[in-house]
Structure 1
Amino acid sequence: MYKTDNAKQVKMQRMLLYVFFTILTLLSILPFWIVIVNATRSAPEIQQGLSLIPSGNAWNNWSHLRSRGFNIFQGYGNSLFIAATSTTLSLYFSSLTAYALIVYEFKGKKFLWGIILMLIMIPTQVSIIGFYRFMANLGLLNNYIPLILPAVASAPTVFFMKQYLETIYHPALVDSARIDGASEIRIFHTIILPLMRPALATMAIFGFIMSWNNFLLPLILINERSMYTLPMLVQLLTTDGYRTEFGAMYMGITLSIVPLILVYTFLSRYIIGGVTAGGVKQ
């Protein structure tokens, strides 16, 4: 009797968890669905109120985008180049820095780690004026270098990589490789980086999304329309003084979030795979 009641209680708790997580999933998907639905509606329909049912104005919204000079393929190319390059540089050099902080002992190590923690706490907006003047003095306005190169020294990524590496690093792995004659850089590439795959996938998602959605810094540094990123092109749709085509705006937003969904879908399996592998004892 007791076992039967206990089984029913466990089953009820499991059902409540399923219901709870289903509600959370729907709440997470709902904003994206609203954006997609609004991309198929006209401006008057959007102004009438919220709807969860797609309309038939998607082609008109796309045509309006094209008539306003919205070069989606150029925007995709510019944003993809910046996001992919900055994310790759950030992951590699941040992992290298985290590896050095974990493996090696050197003077000023604690001081350097304190500086990294301090940089995390400083908002980017505080230094944006000085950064603009510095780039202007270097002649790097209307250039992608200021949007890519600073990713090499990403304090939040270094912090995350170091915290993750502390949980998986074992000195015996590196010592055995050194005994076999492997160089330090080879040890990092062949042993450490594969172990950090879940952390790399996690920060790749965050880094790519942040770079892809970055609007303020490109707006300040870039003036040539041919170099505009996708968020900057979407912003141009709001400059009409007589009428705002909300449907076209939502169409542009929908097109801009498609690569983010693809990147998350591709990289999330490495996070899940890494967690699963870490939970199996050899």
Structure 2
Amino acid sequence: MKTVANKSRDDLNSSAKRKRILCRGLVYLFAIVMAITAFYPFFVMIISSTHDNYNIVAKINVLPGTHLKENFERLTQNIELYKGIINSLLLAVTVTVVQNYFTMMAAYAFSKFNFKGKNFLFSVILVAMMLPGQLGIIGFYKEIQAMKLLNNYFTLVVPTISNCFAVFFYKQYIDGALPNELIEAAVMDGCKELTIYHKLVLPLVIPALVTQGVMTFIGTWNSYLTPLIVLNDKNKFTLPLMIATVRDSTHADYGAQYVGMLVSIIPMVIVFCFASRIIMEKISIGAAVKG
């Protein structure tokens, strides 16, 4: 009887082990498929940047070509590449700093202050977050045209302060990461509101700041529609606008444009890698402190 029972138990364990292996294999397979799907556009961009226009349009390329240097030379002949990088970097950094500073301040107020109309105003933010930004683009253009603010970086920076998603994201993070007791202790010590915000709130929400900051930086760096509407001076064009204007004698120069896109993702990769390290370090420190 014991032998039969042990054999039955072994069979059950073996069956459970096979199920675990199968489930793990399916998870890995799904992860691999998702990784390949996510990487495929980058693969196409890298491979296409090494081919000429004819091969890009007429063929499906899976192997590198020999026209990378020629494409880069045509790109630098058509546009001021380094000027575009500087313009995009200046705009992206400014928007990232300004937007996250003020949206964090608004989120802190919604999270820790009680005032009349608080819930209604936050509901307005949630509704506005669901509306496509393109709906107001005509009104936005007419307004800045009437204010004579066309062709001005100021117009691209100030409206970003009212980012509804950032306010919502920060409020949810502050609700869980910033105890009321810390704020009360700071108030009892005589700290003013701005002091509490700068020396207590901001250091404790660095993971959220870095996360949203990366999304803001990448979104601003890749922004095309709003700069296209606001800017008309080629010297002020951001890198995406400059890349879109690259043409040969008759049509768009796809080889040069792919090289431009390849160059444009380098700062985003650097920012993402640097930010990921900061996020993981802060999360590890927070986990150690809670433990």
TM-score in terms of structure 1 length: 0.91
In structure 1, the gaps of 5 or more residues are: none
| C-alpha distance in structure 1 between counterparts of 2:191 and 2:23, whole Å | 52
Identify the residue that residue 37 of structure 1 maps to in structure 2.
47
Identify the residue that residue 179 of structure 2 maps to in structure 1.
170
Residue 220 of structure 1 and its aligned partner are, at CA, apart by: 1.4
Identify the residue that residue 63 of structure 2 maps to in structure 1.
53
Identify the residue that residue 270 of structure 1 maps to in structure 2.
278
| C-alpha distance in structure 2 between counterparts of 1:23 and 1:129, whole Å | 41
Divergent runs of 4+, >6 A: none
Identify the residue that residue 202 of structure 1 maps to in structure 2.
211
Among residues 162, 178, 193, which one is paired with 1:184 in the alignment?
193
Residue 66 of structure 1 and its aligned partner are, at CA, apart by: 2.1
In structure 2, the gaps of 5 or more residues are: 1-9
TM-score in terms of structure 2 length: 0.89
Among residues 12, 28, 31, which one is paired with 1:18 in the alignment?
28
Among residues 209, 220, 223, which one is paired with 2:229 in the alignment?
220
Q: What residue identity is the alignment partner of 1:159?
A: F
Identify the residue that residue 107 of structure 2 maps to in structure 1.
98
Residue 43 of structure 1 and its aligned partner are, at CA, apart by: 1.1
SS of the residue corresponding to residue 232 of structure 2 reads coil
Q: What residue identity is the alignment partner of 1:33?
A: F
The within-5 A match list for 1:54-93 is 54-68=64-78, 70-93=79-102
| C-alpha distance in structure 2 between counterparts of 1:137 and 1:101, whole Å | 33
Residue 15 of structure 1 and its aligned partner are, at CA, apart by: 3.6
Please tell me the root mean square deviation across aligned C-alpha atoms, in Å.
1.9
Residue 5 of structure 1 and its aligned partner are, at CA, apart by: 4.7
Q: 1:154 aligned to 2:163?
A: yes
Identify the residue that residue 119 of structure 2 maps to in structure 1.
110
Residue 8 of structure 1 and its aligned partner are, at CA, apart by: 4.7
Q: What residue identity is the alignment partner of 1:76?
A: I
| C-alpha distance in structure 2 between counterparts of 1:125 and 1:267, whole Å | 29
Residue 44 of structure 1 and its aligned partner are, at CA, apart by: 1.7
Identify the residue that residue 211 of structure 1 maps to in structure 2.
220
Higher-Rg member (1/2): 2
Q: What residue identity is the alignment partner of 2:98?
A: L
Q: What residue identity is the alignment partner of 1:26?
A: I
Identify the residue that residue 238 of structure 2 maps to in structure 1.
229
| C-alpha distance in structure 2 between counterparts of 1:271 and 1:229, whole Å | 29
Residue 67 of structure 1 and its aligned partner are, at CA, apart by: 2.3
The within-5 A match list for 1:240-251 is 240=248, 242-251=250-259
SS of the residue corresponding to residue 237 of structure 1 reads coil
| C-alpha distance in structure 2 between counterparts of 1:273 and 1:19, whole Å | 29
| C-alpha distance in structure 1 between counterparts of 2:214 and 2:89, whole Å | 13
